[in-house]
Structures are given as C-alpha cells and as structure tokens.
Amino acid sequence: MTESRSTTRKSFRREGEDKRREDLIAATLECVAERGLAGATVREIALRADVTAGLIRYYFPAKDDLIGAAYRAVMNRMTVQASDALKSAADDPRDRLNAFVKANLGQPIMDPNNLSLWAGFIGMVHADPAMALAHRDGYLGFRDELEALIREALLAAGKPAEPIHTRRHAIAVNAIIDGLWLEGCLAGDIFAEGELAETGIAAIEAVLAISLNPEKGGAI
C-alpha cells in the first residue's frame, strides 16, 4: 500500500511557558546582535530558536511584544552583571563604586553585541512611546543606584553629600560611564586592556574629588 500525501510533521516536545519565552528572547537578542534590528525577522528568530513562526505568535501576539521583552532582558542582564560586581567588592563604599564602574567598563557589559542591541532599541525611542517609557525607567533606576553609591563613597571619604550635589554628580558619572562604554564598544580594538576602566575611575575621582581606593586616604 503506497503512502499517500506525505504529511510528515516534525516531531516536537513541549516546553514550559517561561522557558519558551526565555529561548525566544535569547534567539531575538542573537539575531539583533548579528544583523541589527532589521535582521531580526520573525522567520530568522524562529529558525534560530528551532521553532516555527506560529509558536512565536502564540507566546508573543505581536512582534513588538517580543522586541520589547528582548530590550528589557538585555538591560536587565547588564544591570545584574553590574550588581554582581558589587557583591564581590570590599565593604568600603569607595571600593564598591570602583567595582561598579569597572564592571560597567569591562566585559561582558562593554561588548559590541550589547551596543548593537542597545542602539537598535534606542533608535526607536523617539518613535515608540512604549520604548521611551522603558528607557526612562531604566535610566532613572541606574542613576538612582549610582547616586546612592556616590553618596556613600563621599561620606566614607568624609565629604559632604547633600542631594543637590549627589544628583549632579550622578548625572556626570552616569555620562562618564555611558560615554566610555560607547567608546569601548565602538572602538574597543584601539584601547589597551582595562584602559577605559582606568580612565573612567580617574575622571570620576576628579569629579568627586575623592580617591576610589580607600587605602590612599579620603580626599584627593
């Protein structure tokens, strides 16, 4: 008896919802990192995740939902990586700020893939209110964390730490970190190992007028 109408369907295993979402987000981030946002088509993502486009739609009703989730995931990942550096830092607040800065200006945070992801999303902030909101939340969260680290470092160095000054310092230090991160991601090959982290620490020490190495004493 001849086999009629070959309708062989690929065998599959079911996965839990969380795992599926995570895998789809990971596949999305890979696609964006390699080919930019435009290259992250539903088909490419599906191929990368070894599923079909229909499954993507099942978990993320519109492509924008997946893109938004991917952005939040990459921002969250960088935040966690920087926070992890705090966990293994010495107890002195200056060491902690030092470790935080160095984490943000070293691998795996300062990485061209992260830059591609970040820029792809950031480029949509002007046109997409949801992206604008996500970015604003992230920015303020990061800056608040930074301001707290700065306040503690100033106090540990015996310097005044009024909110009006720590706010301004946080804005400036955030700029130094972001700006050097950009330089490192975009032109990392022309800098020596650790050069940008050192440059960042030196600039921040100058701005705060303290040393971020407690053994050296309080203020510069």
Partner DNA sequence: GCTCTAATTATGCAAGCGTATAAATACACA
Partner DNA sequence: TGTGTATTTATACGCTTGCATAATTAGAGC
Phi, psi of 50 (to 5 degrees): 60, 45
Tokens describing residue 199: 């440059």
12 near DNA, rule: CB under 7 A: yes
CA-based nearest residue to 96, from 153, 172, 142, 178: 153
Two structure tokens written together for 219: 């203020």
Q: Between residues 31 and 150, which has the closer beta carbon with respect to DNA? A: 31
Q: Is 36 in the site for its own copies (CB under 8 A)?
A: yes
- Which residues, 41 to 70, sit near its own copies by CB under 8 A? none
Residue choice 43, 136, 168, 216 for contact with DNA (CB under 7 A): 43
Selected from 2, 3, 13, 127, the binder of DNA by CB under 7 A is 13
Q: Is the bond leading into 108 cis (omega within 30 degrees of zero)?
A: yes
N-terminal to C-terminal alpha carbon distance within the chain = 90
Q: Report d(CA 13, CA 204) in Å as an integer.
A: 52
Q: Residue 206, interface with its own copies (CB under 8 A)?
A: yes
Residues 6+ apart with CB under 8 A from 194: 106
Minimal distance in Å, beta carbon 107 to its own copies? 16
> How far is the C-alpha of 10 from the C-alpha of 48, rounded, in Å?
16
**Of the candidate residues 90, 133, 155, 186, the single one contacting its own copies (CB under 8 A):** 186
Specify the residue for token string 């492509």. 63
122 binds, among its own copies, DNA, none (CB under 5 to 8 A by kind): its own copies
Q: Please, what is the minimum distance in Å from the beta carbon of residue 189 to its own copies?
A: 9
When asked if residue 113 is in the footprint of its own copies (CB under 8 A), the reply is yes
Burial class for 10, CB neighbours closer than 10 Å (0-12, 13-18, 19+)? exposed
By the rule CB under 7 A, 198 interacts with DNA: no
Q: Answer yes or no whether residue 148 interacts with its own copies by CB under 8 A.
A: no
**Of 21, 23, 35, 69, which lies in the binding site for its own copies, with binding defined by CB under 8 A?**
35
Determine which residue in the list 64, 84, 137, 144 makes contact with DNA, applying CB under 7 A.
64
Using CB under 8 A as the binding criterion, the count of chain residues that bind its own copies stands at 45
22-59 as b/e: b if 16+ CB within 10 A: ebbbebbbbbbbeeebeebebebbbebbebeeebbeeb
The reply to whether 15 sits near DNA by the rule CB under 7 A is yes
Q: Which residues bind its own copies (CB under 8 A)?
A: 33-39, 112-113, 115-116, 119-120, 122-128, 135-136, 139, 168, 171-172, 174-180, 182-183, 186-187, 196, 199-200, 202-203, 206-207, 209
